[in-house]
Structure 1
Amino acid sequence: MSARAARTAAVAVCATALSGTLLTATAGEHPAARFDRPADGFMAPGTVLHDAAPGDVGLDPDRIDALTTDAASFTRPAPGEEHPLYASSVVLAAHAGAVVAEDAAGWSLRYADGEGTPLPADERIRASTDTIYDLASVSKLFTTIVVLQQVEAGRIELDAPVADYLPAFAANGKQDITVRQLLTHTSGLVPWIPLWSNWATVQERIDAVMNTTPRTEPGTAYDYSDLNMITAGLVAEEVTGRGLDELVRDGITEPLGMVDTGYNPSPDELSRIAATEYQASPDRGMVHGEVHDENAWSLGGVAGHAGVFGTARDLARLAQAILNGGVYDGARILEKATVETMLTNENTEFPGDAHGLGFELDQRWYMDALTAPSTAGHTGYTGTSMVIDPQSRSFVILLTNRVHPSRNWGSVNPARRAVAHHLAYSMAVPPASGSTAWAAHDTGSTTSTLDLPVQLRDDSTLTFDLFADTESTDPFRLEISTDGGATWDPVPFTARRGGSSITAGDGVVSGYHDRRWWRARADLPDVTGSATLRWRYGTDPLYTGRGVVVDGVRVHTRGLPTFHGEQHPERFDAKGWTLTSR
């Protein structure tokens, strides 16, 4: 348990209630941070990060403790495994301008070779919260911001052909590719070419990028490509006459006070830098203090797609600047309107590949329960990620060196999802009516059922409050049985909020639904006698949303109330559902 978690774990008080767990607030605790009240727009531009205990900003301390514990757990081998998921990690989470979790675990330098031979104890370097990590493709966000700064300055037009700035780029059918298509990965360029091995000099490698042939027509497909961002960086350099490293320094890191972030870190900082992979081809040995990406390395360590090193604290300043609409601690790096554009989905024609300018959007595979159409972020091949959720005023940063000593040791995605999941669940979804509500499980590969025996006659209706934020493949179902549970039939229902509605003609709801409560109504079958209503929620092994909460259950027959869930919670048979007050 981290020191911060140890200080605050006692804030949450749990009491057993009925068949579930009732969470109550400690006297004097800060009002719960509300996940079911998504914010619009940006935070106040003067918001500056400060440290706070989770309870001080209304978060569940146990969940924040779980966030740091889970991140650290991956630095140790799981049962039956020979090695950990990653050698070291630093995780940082913030909400409403408060850093509520910051924790380091493992060893930033742990292995001697690509086989995973441990270094002697006195040669290892333990990770700390100020460890500097190779950010890998998170670097693409820095390139994007630099390009957009030049757009604001009038030197670049997003919809202008790249060839207007780099005439050589027009070769082999690329004359119509625009700068915008580079930033949204819709240019048609191939994802990658081996610059480091097939060409001998930096200029030859740049020429190779200029001479590539697209594999699809511009604007017709989404293809994530390093070449897009290498080219975008070259455009910025061309219109300014300055190196990308200088542009990032002068336009982003220095204004924001990101003192440990940049390309080609000083050898003097080697003891603070996390090692990455042991590379035999190219013959680099243990890569430590140099960029891991071979193509970026072959370009001198400065490239549009990779090369930036940094700390979690530095990235937190950038994340907060995004939440503030482009400004942090008095330094503005982008105009508010530019940030709005940057975080707007440009790829509506390619479902599942939502992307703003540079930023990925709405990607549940690593954003997990923080996912929403406006949730922005990026990952890096070395094991890094940043998730920024404007609706909850929150972000989480996970930095690891998962390629140390080998890129083949596994994916860091389980850890990325875990930290996002706990941060989302640390925020409350309080009952829509009364003091408690029924919340379903929040784990994968699980089914929860909430059964309610009722007596029905003709003209019976059911109403209930519903909060549903799930993965599209994790269905919430409303069902009825009239034969003692031997068979179950779907109950169609409609949920409404204001002028919006959800029609569940087959009794099934899944996906993102605005992070708000809905009032649902169902006409029950014309049955006279005993029946059982069931709310059922099932999850697959992969990702989850913020889950499902049911409240305010009422049954009416011929217009007269026959059951009130707030008055008779003991009538429910809950398996995997718990009563909660937040």
Structure 2
Amino acid sequence: MKLHIFILIGLLFSKAHSQKALQEIDDPVFDSEFGYAKPSEVKLDSSYIHIKVDSIINDGIENEAFPGAQILVAKNSKIIFHKAYGFHTYDSIQKVALDDIYDLASVTKITGPLPAIMKLVDEGKLDLDKPFSTYWKPWRKIKDKKNLTLREILAHQAGLTPYIVFLNEVLKRNGKVKKRFVQTSASSGFENQAYDGLFIKNNFKRKMIQMINRSKVSEEKKYKYSGLTFLIFPQLIEQLTGQSYENYLEQHFYKPLGASNMGFRPKTKGYTNRIVPTEQDTLFRHTLTQGWVHDENASLLGGVSGNAGLFATATDLAKLMQMYMQYGFYNGKRFVSEATIKEFIKVQYPENENRRGLGFDKPLLGNDTLDHKEAYPAKLVSLESFGHSGFTGTFVWADPKNQLVYIFLSNRVNPTRAHRNLYKLKIREAVQQVFYTANVPAD
């Protein structure tokens, strides 16, 4: 069997949703690190896994948690489960395929700026415990920011403002765009494309950064999730490396990993893979958002950001998360030092009831003692595990102790972000839990 040849082995249908196709593909090995195996080869019960996961996902589709989803699980460096369910949208026209490209939303934070930051820490170009203002000069004269460290920022312990709705700056009260900031065609002063027929003024990025620099910082130092500095990180990475943010990531991570579909602005890349749509936007784009980032703040930066904007397939993500789980080593190449990875995936401020690592999310403190309904993510993940979630309905997690990588991709914001059953039904956690109980016979 030749490399990169996909063999379709079946389309299965759930009892309740025969129109919602479930697809499974048995791939040959796609690099020397990863291969495909049956669950039984890693001592897991295949029938139990398929029955449980199919039931959870099809129930999610029925309850409109998402129109479709995709699950990839790797155990002991072997992909043991990779299935696509449902459709891109609720009209049931385009089936989800295993090589579809998804908008990762905040999963971008650990797949975009974070690997670059870890490499720069390795190289001594960034110090976690020096004031961030050492590197980001505008903060040197700002009283409540000048002493904040990169460690505090990455652990969401700095007290930064959680979010700024920059879209408010470009929309009038009647909902129409301000032409001084947004135009319908590209020009020398409007080169950052937010969507088809939407171009943002080049210096609007400066306005965003100024607003971040002026934003308030809480005096109380406790866990407060903030994505603001992730809007700054790409520019910082460019300053420290002398390369564009996109090119740096492509050269040092995505290409060497073989993550060939991971990148920003996929509409401009000419991918043959289908791009899964996100929201039917009624505020800014006034159409079904597809091929361009859903997150409005990232879109106002032309789709290239550190808070959101990355798109990828499940296998792209599996390779990156496997590299993290192997403490910076993948397919014969060292990407980040073992010591740096271990520092970043460690809980930083447990004494402040903060579960976070550096950039990475972690299980709730005392997660293994909680009821399944209260646990996050699954109750049985190890305390060494780590990952991140995304607003569009994405989730990635790696567990070094159990040698398990879990990728969940969906577009739960279709047709509207008001759809929250993905969270209410705890679908991502329920599916993840299956792979920790699959070696135990079902009751």
Which bracket does the TM-score occupy, shorter chain normalised?
0.7 to 0.9
Deviation at 1:75, TM superposition (A): 5.4
Residue equivalent to 1:251: 252
Deviation at 1:332, TM superposition (A): 1.9
- Where do 1:273-284 residues align within 5 Å? 273-284=275-286
Residue equivalent to 1:177: 148
Larger Rg: 1
- Count residues in correspondence: 372
Say which structure is richer in helix. Answer: 2
Q: Which moved more, 1:172-181 or 1:362-371?
A: 362-371
- For 1:89, the aligned partner's letter is A
Deviation at 1:196, TM superposition (A): 2.7
Residue equivalent to 1:55: 40
Residue equivalent to 1:18: none
1:101 aligns with 2:81: yes
**1-structure distance, mates of 2:402, 2:439:** 9
SS at match of 1:149: helix
Equivalent in 129, 135, 145 of residue 104 of structure 2: 135
SS at match of 1:259: coil
**2-structure distance, mates of 1:150, 1:211:** 26
Asked if structure 1 preserves the Cα contact closer than 8 Å seen for 2:382 and 2:402, the reply is no
**1-structure distance, mates of 2:235, 2:214:** 14
Aligned residues: percent identity? Answer: 28
Deviation at 1:366, TM superposition (A): 4.1
Equivalent in 204, 209, 212 of residue 207 of structure 2: 204
Closer/same/farther in 2, CA of residues 332 and 130 from structure 1, 3 Å limit: same
Asked if structure 2 preserves the Cα contact closer than 8 Å seen for 1:95 and 1:395, the reply is yes
Residue equivalent to 1:69: 54
Deviation at 1:165, TM superposition (A): 1.4
**2-structure distance, mates of 1:106, 1:140:** 27
Q: Which moved more, 1:289-298 or 1:228-237?
A: 228-237
Deviation at 1:51, TM superposition (A): 0.6
Asked if structure 2 preserves the Cα contact closer than 8 Å seen for 1:5 and 1:64, the reply is no
Residue equivalent to 2:237: 236
Deviation at 1:175, TM superposition (A): 0.5
Deviation at 1:67, TM superposition (A): 4.8
- Where do 1:443-482 residues align within 5 Å? none
**2-structure distance, mates of 1:369, 1:234:** 38
- Where do 1:289-438 residues align within 5 Å? 289-351=291-353, 353-363=354-364, 365-413=375-423, 414-427=426-439
Deviation at 1:236, TM superposition (A): 1.9
Asked if structure 2 preserves the Cα contact closer than 8 Å seen for 1:369 and 1:420, the reply is no
SS at match of 1:408: coil
**2-structure distance, mates of 1:71, 1:290:** 29
Asked if structure 2 preserves the Cα contact closer than 8 Å seen for 1:256 and 1:328, the reply is yes
Closer/same/farther in 2, CA of residues 145 and 189 from structure 1, 3 Å limit: same
Residue equivalent to 1:214: 217
**2-structure distance, mates of 1:63, 1:295:** 42
- For 2:42, the aligned partner's letter is V
- For 1:134, the aligned partner's letter is D
**1-structure distance, mates of 2:211, 2:138:** 10
SS at match of 2:114: helix
**2-structure distance, mates of 1:350, 1:371:** 22
* Relative contact order higher in (CA < 8 Å, ≥ 6 apart): 2
- For 1:415, the aligned partner's letter is I
Deviation at 1:270, TM superposition (A): 7.5
Asked if structure 2 preserves the Cα contact closer than 8 Å seen for 1:369 and 1:424, the reply is no
Residue equivalent to 2:116: 146
Asked if structure 1 preserves the Cα contact closer than 8 Å seen for 2:101 and 2:273, the reply is no
Deviation at 1:415, TM superposition (A): 1.6
Deviation at 1:62, TM superposition (A): 2.4
Asked if structure 1 preserves the Cα contact closer than 8 Å seen for 2:349 and 2:355, the reply is yes
1:189 aligns with 2:156: no
Say which structure is richer in strand. Answer: 1
**1-structure distance, mates of 2:380, 2:408:** 14
**1-structure distance, mates of 2:137, 2:59:** 48
**2-structure distance, mates of 1:85, 1:92:** 18
1:164 aligns with 2:134: yes
**2-structure distance, mates of 1:315, 1:67:** 23
Name stretches of at least 5 consecutive residues in structure 2 with no aligned partner.
Answer: 1-7, 13-30, 171-180, 182-203, 368-374
**2-structure distance, mates of 1:246, 1:183:** 23
**1-structure distance, mates of 2:242, 2:306:** 15
Provide the TM-score with structure 1 as the length reference.
0.60
**1-structure distance, mates of 2:319, 2:273:** 23
Closer/same/farther in 2, CA of residues 316 and 378 from structure 1, 3 Å limit: same
Q: Spell out structure 1 runs of 4+ moving beyond 4 A.
A: 2-6
**2-structure distance, mates of 1:331, 1:102:** 25
Closer/same/farther in 2, CA of residues 403 and 361 from structure 1, 3 Å limit: same
Asked if structure 1 preserves the Cα contact closer than 8 Å seen for 2:326 and 2:400, the reply is no
**1-structure distance, mates of 2:324, 2:439:** 21
Asked if structure 2 preserves the Cα contact closer than 8 Å seen for 1:70 and 1:418, the reply is no
Deviation at 1:411, TM superposition (A): 3.7
Aligned-residue Cα RMSD (Å) equals 2.4
Closer/same/farther in 2, CA of residues 402 and 52 from structure 1, 3 Å limit: same
**2-structure distance, mates of 1:332, 1:63:** 37
SS at match of 1:285: coil
Asked if structure 2 preserves the Cα contact closer than 8 Å seen for 1:237 and 1:243, the reply is yes
Residue equivalent to 1:573: none
Asked if structure 2 preserves the Cα contact closer than 8 Å seen for 1:5 and 1:61, the reply is no
SS at match of 1:373: coil
Closer/same/farther in 2, CA of residues 182 and 284 from structure 1, 3 Å limit: farther
Equivalent in 116, 126, 133 of residue 95 of structure 2: 126
